[in-house]
Amino acid sequence: MTTQTNRRATIAVRCAASERSVWDAAIAALNTALTGSVFLSIAWMDDCDRAARSEADVVCLSLWPDLLRTEVDEPALEAEWRSVAAALRDGVMARGATVFLVTIFRHLSPDDGPLLPRLRRINLLAARLSQEFGLLVIDLDRVLAHRGALELGADARLGSQRAQQEAANAIVDTLLGVGLNHLVEEEALQQGVTCHRQRATLDRSDYPVPLQLERSRLRAREQLVVLEKRMIDDRGIAGLLRDLRAGRIGIVRLTREVAEKVGKRLARRQL
């Protein structure tokens, strides 16, 4: 598909008011990375039904507002989402637009703590909807959990600058990888990846080495794979230990990953 230079496109975003600054930062970063190819603007959506009827080129639906809709029980919420997912599949997606669900960072303040079981089930619902209806996922939970709530200085509300920066970078990574193929030519996407890699490297200056972003094929679609080239550093071990304490990994996986890190480091020393 040939893309017109400086084409204008719209990303419909349904999120909480507190998340808007993250999306503003993400879209600004995308426009910087894709200068000369496409200019993206945000259309804020009040609800998922409106997003499903939109003419946007990309639709992104945060799950965070549903965590706070405690007056809606989980079976009713799932029924709502299945109806929305079917409408998105038959409407927005049928005309070639891409649709993303955005997961919730699994760390809550003491006041919000009772909502943790609901949060986990909502994130699992995103995975099921992706598998059954073909919706894509921006997995903020996975990305932010790797950094950890203590390091980010934030919970699921993403109240710190660091958390918002990491969340915006995760959104950009995903959209450059798989969400804009129908809008931007491959060469421009590759240039956008390079531009974003340079900016993200500066943003994440405390990483031991820069992030490497590579495009690869998955189910006949291009996607971006984010590779964190780390050795056996303290930050990596701390992240694994946090995952172990939180129950995200078991002792067998912890042992295997530590062994792999040590093996890779020794292999490089022998080169």
Give 131-150 pLDDT, tens digit per residue: 999 999 999 999 999 889 99
- Tell me the per-residue pLDDT of 26-39, one tens digit each, with 9 for 90 and over: 999 999 999 999 99
> Is beta strand 221-228 parallel, antiparallel or unpaired with respect to 211-218?
antiparallel
Measured CA to CA in angstroms, residue 25 lies from 31, 213, 225 at distances of: 10, 20, 21
Between 219 and 172, whose confidence is greater?
172
C-alpha to C-alpha distance for 24 and 235, rounded to whole angstroms: 29
Q: Strand 7-14 vs strand 58-62: parallel, antiparallel, or unpaired?
A: parallel
Please state the pTM of the whole predicted model: 0.74
What is the per-residue pLDDT for 198?
82
Q: Which residues pair with 227 in a beta bridge?
A: 212
**What is the band of 40 on the pLDDT scale with cuts at 50, 70, 90?**
very high
Structure tokens at 270: 């022998």
- Residue 70: the pLDDT is 94
Residue 8: pLDDT band by 50, 70, 90 thresholds? Answer: very high
> What's the mean pLDDT in 197-206?
68
Residue ranges and CATH numbers for the domains of the chain are 7-228 (3.40.50.1110), 230-271 (no CATH)
Q: pLDDT, tens digit, for every residue of 91-103?
A: 999 999 999 999 9
